[in-house]
Structure 1
Amino acid sequence: MARGNSKGGSGGTSRFRFVLFEGDLQEGELAQVTQAIQNAFRGSQASSPRTIGRSSVASPPCDTDATDFDQVEEAEEVGADNIPRARPVRKARAPKVPNPVNDLDVKSEPSLKDFVADYDVKSGFEKYLVIALWLRDGRDINSFTVDHIYTCFKLIGWSTNSNDFSKPLRNLADNKFLSGDCKGYSLSLTGAGKIEDKKRNSE
């Protein structure tokens, strides 16, 4: 770029020449060079923002208060720079604590503690099953809830420190050891046979 000298004082003018490209071209090459220059100065079109819609999570038919998380999703907008503007949020919520069954008779024969003592139970699943067996055979309760199991655990002295106390019941139902759902579980033949095998031999 060449710039001429100023003429006169501060009110003078200046002359300059800006040479972008200079060279000899063969016939027919001018159109190609022109297209290349246009492409070089053409800005990339910014992609329009897109929105990832709110994801829906179906609510379970029961035990809604015992879910590990409330699935709360916020819309996520992504701009031309591909940087998320808002991320999905999972809001943690404590599971529902079961309610004690205050009118459950655990002392008359067969008492809860004596009945449980006749079985060699170690795992959590076995403890749930032996209580289900006592409820059925000892108290004629064929449909029970997590509240019954929770009450028995408390009275026996077993730990109730669990993030989801009803989860073992759902697992037992999935494996056909129980039937029903959280509105009312029943001990199945498979579940009864499983826990009856744990009965201690009488001397």
Structure 2
Amino acid sequence: MADLQLKITMGDIDVNIQGEGELVYKIFKELREEGLGALHKVHLSSGTGTLKASAEHLSDETKAEGEKASVQTSKPKKKSNQRQPQLIKDLDLSGKGVSKSLKDFVSEKKPATNIERTAVFIYYMQNILNLSEITVDHVFSCYKNIGVRLPQNLPQNLNDTASSRYGFIEVDNGKYTVSILGINLIEHDLPRKE
């Protein structure tokens, strides 16, 4: 029998089977009868997402001398439904009209982590710039202003900074404010004593 390629979509999982026609049909039949549980019999090859199935890994009725097939399973990548943060061009972080620039304030406080850095940014915007509505775009603009590497997932960084583990900021309807813990961190604990 000739080579055969079969693609099956089960929910959000795609299964591609390619190989000798009769073996592909038998693998398909097992998948149909046992579901994806039939794939636990095959070995995953080095993180590529490709499952290599040979006759010895399949049921007795599927075994055939020297026949091989490849089975690939993949989940489609989830598209992020979060919009990318935007630079706020009219946010003045240069220090004109206030006591110091954001860069000077960050240099003075010396935050060691992105969690601390995010808390410092929100403190600066809330207490020095007197902004009342601080969003993820404001924090993004602060990161861009001081020229450090952005957290890989800025919304998650904000969630972590507000979490019970740290609690340096509070969030309400996408607006951020510094918490009592954050005020104590900025005013009393930073810069950290060596």
Question: Could you tell me which residue of structure 2 aligns to residue 80 of structure 1?
Answer: 33
Distance 2:187 2:88 in 1: 25
Q: Secondary structure at the match of 2:176?
A: strand
Residue 81 of structure 1 and its aligned partner are, at CA, apart by: 4.9
Map of 1:106 onto structure 2: 93
Query: 1:197 and 1:153, CA in 2 relative to 1: closer, same or farther beyond 3 A?
Result: same
- Does structure 1 residue 147 correspond to structure 2 residue 137? yes
Gaps of 5+ in 1: 1-52, 55-72
RMSD: 3.2
CA deviation map 1:101-148 (0-9, x unaligned): 111111212321222222121111111111111001111113311111
Larger Rg: 1
Pick closer, same or farther for the CA change 1:93–1:104 going to 2, 3 Å.
same
Does the aligned pair in 2 maintain the 1:142–1:187 contact within 8 Å?
Answer: no
Say whether 1:186 aligns with 2:172.
Answer: no
2:159 to 165, 170, 173: 170
Give the conservation status (yes or no) of the 8 Å contact 2:14–2:75.
Answer: no
1:196 equivalenced with 2:187 (yes/no): yes
Secondary structure of the structure 1 residue equivalent to 2:171:
strand
Contact 1:153 1:159 in 2 (8 A): yes
Aligned-partner SS, 1:180: strand
Q: How much has 1:182 moved relative to structure 2?
A: 6.3
Does the aligned pair in 2 maintain the 1:146–1:182 contact within 8 Å? no
Contact 2:119 2:182 in 1 (8 A): yes
Structure 2 gaps, min length 5: 1-9, 16-27, 40-70
- Structure with the bigger percentage of helix: 2
- TM-score normalized by structure 1? 0.53
Query: Which is further off, 126-135 or 85-94?
Result: 85-94
- 1:80 is displaced (CA, Å) by 2.2
1:159-193 alpha-carbon deviations (Å, 9 max, x no partner)? 12x43122111012122322125621111111111
Mapping 1:7-156, distance limit 5 Å: 73=12, 78-82=31-35, 83=38, 89-93=75-79, 96-107=83-94, 108=96, 109-110=98-99, 111-156=101-146
Bigger proportion of residues as strand: 2
Identity score, percent: 23
Question: Contact 1:145 / 1:182 at 8 angstroms: preserved in 2?
Answer: no
- TM-score, L = length of structure 2: 0.56
CA-CA distance at 1:75 after TM superposition: 9.6
